[in-house]
Amino acid sequence: MKNRKAFSALEILLVAVILGLLAAVFVPATAVIAEKSRAGVVKAHISQIIEAGKKYNADKGTESVDYNTLVSEKYLKPVQPVAGEKYDEISIKATGGRAKTVTARGTEISKSY
């Protein structure tokens, strides 16, 4: 029997093909998981804005309040975007409604209140 000191080119090629196939399956799957995770964080941010808006409207007796007012009046700390979304356009009405934002990829994320 021969003592082998190295792998053959065929063995190295086979390992490279297997690793490539595994990467082709797992890379897109992790991207989907990351996108869902970011969407969950954005929904949590919207929930925080809604709760702060409800409190502001109840405290001040107003019909509506926007995100910037909530931040300037210290009812809410500035929310850091995680998916390129902007919260500046969110307005919370005392009568209820739907708060929404759009991510950098164009995905609309909203929550009713």
50-69 per-position pLDDT tens digit: 999 999 999 999 999 999 99
Distances (CA, A) of 96 to 54, 93, 112: 9, 5, 8
- Does residue 5 fall inside a structural domain? no
Range of 43's domain? 10-112
Provide the token pair at 107: 């995905």
Instruction: Please give the Cα distance from 96 to 7 (Å, whole number).
Output: 68
- Does residue 66 fall inside a structural domain? yes
Q: Give the number of domains in the chain.
A: 1
To the nearest 5 percent, what fractions of the chain are helix, strand and coil?
Answer: 50, 15, 35
| pLDDT value at residue 1 | 55
Does the pLDDT value for residue 88 go beyond 80?
A: yes
- Does residue 3 fall inside a structural domain? no
- Does residue 65 fall inside a structural domain? yes
Banded pLDDT at 2 (limits 50, 70, 90):
low
Computed over every residue of the chain, the mean pLDDT equals: 94
